[in-house]
Structure 1
Amino acid sequence: MDDTQAGRRRAYIGSFTSAGGRGVIAAEVDPGSGALTVTGTSDAVADPSFLALDGHVLYAVSETEQGAAAAFDVTGPEPRPLGAPVPVDAAGPTHLAVVGRCLLTADYTSGSVTSLARTADGGLGPVLGRLRHEGSGPVAGRQDGPHAHQVLPDPSGRWVLDVDLGTDTVTVSVLAPATGALRPHRATALRPGTGPRHLAFHPAGGHAYVLNELEPTLTVCRWDAEAGVLTPLTETPVVPEGATGPQYPSEVVAAPDGRFLWAAVRGGDTLAVLALDPTGESARLVTSVPCGGHWPRDLTLGPSGRHLYAANERSGDVTWFTVDPQTGIPALAGSIPAPAASCVVFG
C-alpha cells in the first residue's frame, strides 16, 4: 500500500545542493503534533529551491544559471525522477506553479516567466512560451533590471500573477490553455524601491497581500477577479518599530479563516504575526516571534491548518510551530535538520 492509499500526509523540502543540501527531501507528517520524519531524498536535480505538488507528481525548479525544471513521482517513500530535468532557457528560476496543463516558472535572473508543457504522466515537455519583463527600480545592485520572483494563479483560475522584485510590479497575465502562451493583461506598480517578493491571497479571494523584500513591509491590495485588476490600498510594517539591522522578508501566509497573516523575515530571523480586519483591507502587526533558526527563506502552513513550518536556510533546519487559534501567535514545537533548506510543501 502506498502512502496515499494509507491516508498519510507527506511533506517535501527543497534545498540548495550547492550549499550542502540533500536536494528534495520527503517526510511523513504526524497529524497531531505536526512533527516531520524524513523518509527519503533525491539529489537528481541541482538546487531544487522551490517545489510544487500536483497529485502524485512533485515539481522542482533548478535555481542555476542554466535554469531547469524537473518532475518527480512521489508515490513511494522517496522522490523518483520522471525523466531528466528540462531546460527553461532562462537563468535562475526561483518559483513555480502548476496551471492547467502547464508548469510556470518565475525566472529571477532573466526577469521572465516561462511556461512548460506537462505530459500525460505528469512529466515535463518543452518550453511553450515566455513573458519577458522590462524596467528597473531605484535600489542599485538589486533593481538594475527585472527579477521575477513568484508566479501563481489567482483563486478564480482565470489569471496568472507574477511578482517582480526588480521593477516593483505585479503583472496579471492570461495563459492560453491550448498553446501555453502568456499574454500580459495589466501591470500594477507598487511603491518604488519596496522590492515585492511574494504575495498571498485572502481565502475569500477579494484581496492579496504583497510581501516586500527590500523594505520590510506588506502591501494590502484589492483583487478584482472579474476585471483582472490588482489595486494597492495600504502598506504596513512587518517588523517592530525600532528593529535594528537589515530585515529581508521572504514569504507571507494567510490563515484559512482570514483572520491572520504570517510573514517570515530574514536578518531578524522572525515570524511576524499580523491581524486582518473583517474586510481584509487592513493588516496590523501584532507581534514577532523567533523563527527557531537562521535565515527563514520560506514559511508554509501545514495541512491541518494548526502548524507553521519555516525553512531556515543558513541554520540548515526546518522548524514547526503550533498556532494559537485565538491570537494567531505561533509557538515553537520542533525541528529537523535540513541543510540549506529553501521551501516546504505538503501533499
Structure 2
Amino acid sequence: MKTALLILFIGSYTEYPIPGFGGIGHGIYTVQLNTETGELTTLHTMMARNPSYLVVSDDNQFLYCVNELDESENPKVGAYKINADYSLQFLNEQPIAGGYPCHIKTFGNNVLVACYATGNIHQFPVEASGKLGRAVQQYSHVGSSVNSDRQEAPHAHQIAVHPNGRDVYVCDLGIDIIKAYHFKGKNLVPNDIKDCKISKGSGPRHMVFDAAGNLGYVNNELTGTVSVLKRKEGSFDEEEIYSALPNDFTGVPSGSAIRIHPNGQFLYVANRKLEAISIFRIYKDKLEPIEYQYTKGEELREFNITPDGNWLIACHQNSHDTVVYQIKSDGRLQERYRTKEILSPVCVVFN
C-alpha cells in the first residue's frame, strides 16, 4: 500500500527588521507530510525576504507571499508558479505601499494584502498567467483604541473571506473593529454598514467562520480571548467572550492564531507566552474549553489543520520547532513528530 503524502508550504522570517523580531529562515519551504506517521520532509526552499504569510491559489497552481518589512524597506507581494515537483518558480512582484504587510488572501482573480504598521489594505489583480498586476485599490483605516502601547493607530492584521463568497472582513487590532468590504464589479470597496465592533482593548488579530457563515470566532491578541460573533440581518455582533488562557496565567496575553476544525465541532486558538493551543468544543453558538495543548516551543506563531481534519501543524518562530499533532476524535491533540530543520517558521498553507 502506497503511503499517502500531502504537500504544504511554510513561510518564515529571514531577517530581523527590528531588534528581537524576525528570524533566520531560508524563505519559503516546500514540505511533504507523511499522513501515516506525521513525519515532515523538506523538499525545496525558495529565498525571499521575510515571506511570513503565504496563500495558494484556488486551483493550486500559484503561490503568493508578502515581504513583512518596514515601509522604508519597500516591501513587495510576490507571485510564484508551483511546479510539478512542488518547487516554486518566481513570476513577478509588485510594490506594497505600506509597512509590515502581515497577511495575504486570494479572492477570485485578486490578491488582498493587509499591512499592520500602516493600517491599510490593498487589492492586486491576478493575470491568467498567475502574475500580479499593480495595486488597483488601497484603503487606510482610521482611529485608535484604549491600549496606548498597541492601539495608538490602526493595525490591519488579517483578511478573511466570508463563506458567502461576497463579503470580506479585515481584523484591525488597533481600532477594535472588524472592517467590512465587498466587491462592486472588479473593485473591492468598503461596506461600513457591516463593520463589527469588538470589546475595547481586545485587539482582534485573526478570525474564522463556521461553514454556514452565521458565526464568527475572533482571536483577540491583547486580551487572550475569543469573541463569538453572531450574524443578524446580514451583519455580525459580538455576542460572547471566552478566555483562551488558564485561570492561573499571569503573563501578558499574546494570542496569535485561530482555526476551526473542518467538521465544525472544535476550535483551536494559539497563544504565545503561554506557548499552548487552547482547544474548545463548539456547541451551537457556545464554546466549551476542553484542554490546553502545551507546544514546548518559543513564540507559537501560526498553525493549520489539514483539509481532512486529521493533522495539525504548529510553527514556533523563535525556537524553530515545527510540531505535527494527530487530531483525535474528541478534538484533543497527540504529538507525532517534531523538527527544528525549518528555521523561523511562521505559517502553513496546503497545496
TM-score range (shorter-chain normalised) is over 0.9
State the AA in 2 paired with 1:46. R
Shift, 1:33, TM fit: 2.7
Shift, 1:295, TM fit: 1.0
**Among 172, 177, 182, the residue aligned to 2:189:** 182
Partner Cα separation in structure 1 for residue 176 and residue 182 of structure 2: 20
1:22 and 2:59 aligned: no
Kindly report which structure 2 residues correspond to 1:221-300, keeping only aligned pairs within 5 A, or say none: 221-223=229-231, 228-277=234-283, 279=284, 281-300=285-304
**Deviations along 1:276-299, whole A, 9 cap, x unmatched?**
11x2x1112221011132111001
Percent identity, please: 26
Partner Cα separation in structure 2 for residue 37 and residue 196 of structure 1: 34
Partner Cα separation in structure 2 for residue 20 and residue 119 of structure 1: 32
**Contact 1:96–1:152 (8 Å) recurs in 2:** no
1:12 match: 9
**Deviations along 1:54-105, whole A, 9 cap, x unmatched?**
111011011111221111111234222112x211211111001100111000
1:219 and 2:227 aligned: yes
State the AA in 2 paired with 1:184. N
State the AA in 2 paired with 1:10. I
State the AA in 1 paired with 2:190. R
2:137 match: 129
**Contact 2:142–2:153 (8 Å) recurs in 1:** yes
1:50 match: 53
Partner Cα separation in structure 1 for residue 179 and residue 299 of structure 2: 28
State the AA in 2 paired with 1:329. R
Q: For the structure 1 residues 294 and 262, does the alpha-carbon distance in structure 2 shift closer, same or farther, using more than 3 Å as the test?
A: same
- Structure 1 gap segments, 5+ residues each: 1-5
State the AA in 2 paired with 1:321. Y
Aligned pair count reads: 334
Shift, 1:137, TM fit: 0.9
TM-score for the superposition, normalised by structure 1:
0.93
Partner Cα separation in structure 2 for residue 110 and residue 80 of structure 1: 30
**Deviations along 1:130-165, whole A, 9 cap, x unmatched?**
121000011122100000000021001011110000
2:66 match: 61
Shift, 1:339, TM fit: 1.3
State the AA in 2 paired with 1:82. L
**Contact 1:71–1:124 (8 Å) recurs in 2:** yes
State the AA in 1 paired with 2:226. L
**Deviations along 1:177-225, whole A, 9 cap, x unmatched?**
42x332233321110001010001112321110000000100001135x
**Contact 2:77–2:96 (8 Å) recurs in 1:** yes
1:35 match: 39
Partner Cα separation in structure 2 for residue 90 and residue 56 of structure 1: 27
State the AA in 2 paired with 1:173. Y
Question: What secondary structure sits across from 1:214 in the alignment?
Answer: coil
Partner Cα separation in structure 2 for residue 67 and residue 282 of structure 1: 40
**Among 202, 210, 218, the residue aligned to 2:218:** 210
Partner Cα separation in structure 2 for residue 52 and residue 182 of structure 1: 22
State the AA in 2 paired with 1:133. H
TM-score for the superposition, normalised by structure 2:
0.92
Question: What secondary structure sits across from 2:149 in the alignment?
Answer: coil
- Structure 2 gap segments, 5+ residues each: 16-22
Shift, 1:259, TM fit: 1.3
